Every structure is written in structure tokens, then in C-alpha cells.
Amino acid sequence: MGSEGPPSVTFHVTGFKKFHGVSDNPTETIVRNLEEYFKNKGSPKGVSLGSCTILETAGQGAVVPLYQTLQCAVSKDFQQSDSSKVILLHFGVNSGATRFAIEHQAVNEATFRCPDEMGWKPQKVSIIPSDGGISKARKTFLPVDEITKSLAKMGYDVVTSDDAGRFVCNYVYYHSLRFAEQNGIKSLFVHVPLFQTIDKDTQMQFAASLLEVLASLY
């Protein structure tokens, strides 16, 4: 068995398709190109890409494919050993942002300012009713402050955030955090700006650096 160095961390990465007001979602480009990027530039140390998936920008109507993606992270195909370390990593766009944001938590509330791509527009609805009311929050078990500091030292304009919104990004993150806790793995959501704000090359480098930092801190 490979005993050179620490075991790698397996990442299951998601981005989103287009949605209201954002016809060209940078996260779709980042996630679609990640594997190729690693082939060309070399994989960061300790990083193994398990899957890259583009999700519909939808809540309730896209729960089944979301759970298929989450489930694939704990399926036997991806568990190389009992000590496999797995991170669910979700990228979403914040079209008004000027920097990257590492999201600390998600809340159990769906309040969509506009309908999602399947026409759903919930207002103050519990994402998982059995989890409690809309004020319930779930936090990632990854060291968000440390991750942010490491990336800032590498020159990226990045902050820690406690508010992932109440739209599809928060919806997906809440489901993912709950699933991760139930299955003994980790989950993280990262908001990125549009490519007009931070160009594609920088965002691809950021994604690679993020995976490397996460692998080193796990």
C-alpha cells in the first residue's frame, strides 16, 4: 500500500449552472475545468479529485441530483481505505462580491428573492423541517479562519463569511453540512465573484490553492 507521505484528501466539487441575472456562472467554468487544470499544472499536494459536478441552480426541485452527488462521496467506489478523508466542496457565485468568501455556516431557511431555475420561490420555509425552525444554523467543522488566513498569505483577496444568503447556495450548503455530519465527512461552501471582477485565471489558481490548503489542514 502507498505509504509515501500522508493519505490524500478526496474532494467532491460542485458548481452551479446559470440562474436569474447570471447567464454565465463562473463556478460552472471553474468546476468543469478543474480536472484539466490539474492535468496541465499538476495536482496540488495531498489532493485527489473524486468528482466534479455542475448542479442546477434550484432548491427543492434539484434535491434528488444533489443527494446523488453527496451520496457518491461516501460510496464504496470512492472510499480507497477506511481512513479516506473526504471533503464536499461547493462553489457558488455572488455577483455583487469583489472578493472570495469562505462560508462558515448555513441556516435552515429558504427565502428566495427570485424563483430558482425550476420556478420555486419559497419565503421563510425550513429547508429541512425535521431539523427545527428557520433560525437553526449548521456550521462547517473545517477551520474557516485558518483557511482564510492561509489563502490571504498566498495573495488572494479572501474573507470569512457567516452569511451564505437564503437562496440556492445556502440551501445546498445546509443539506451538505447535514449530510457531512451524518456521514463523518467535511463540507465547505465558497462564494466567488464574477469573472469581470476577478479573472478566470486567478479564480482557477484560487480553486487549486484552496484544495491544497484544505488538504494540508484536514
pLDDT per residue as tens digits for the range 73-128: 888 655 555 456 999 999 999 999 999 999 999 999 999 999 999 999 999 999 99
Report pLDDT for 76. Answer: 61
pLDDT at 46 over 70: yes
Query: What pLDDT score does 111 carry?
Result: 96
The Cα 208–Cα 69 span in angstroms is 21
Angle between helices 26-41 and 200-217 (to 10 degrees): 70
pLDDT class of 61 with cuts at 50, 70, 90 = confident
pLDDT reading at 4 higher than 70: no
Average pLDDT rounded to a whole number, residues 198-216: 97
Q: Residue 2 pLDDT > 80, yes or no?
A: no
Position 195 scores a pLDDT of: 96
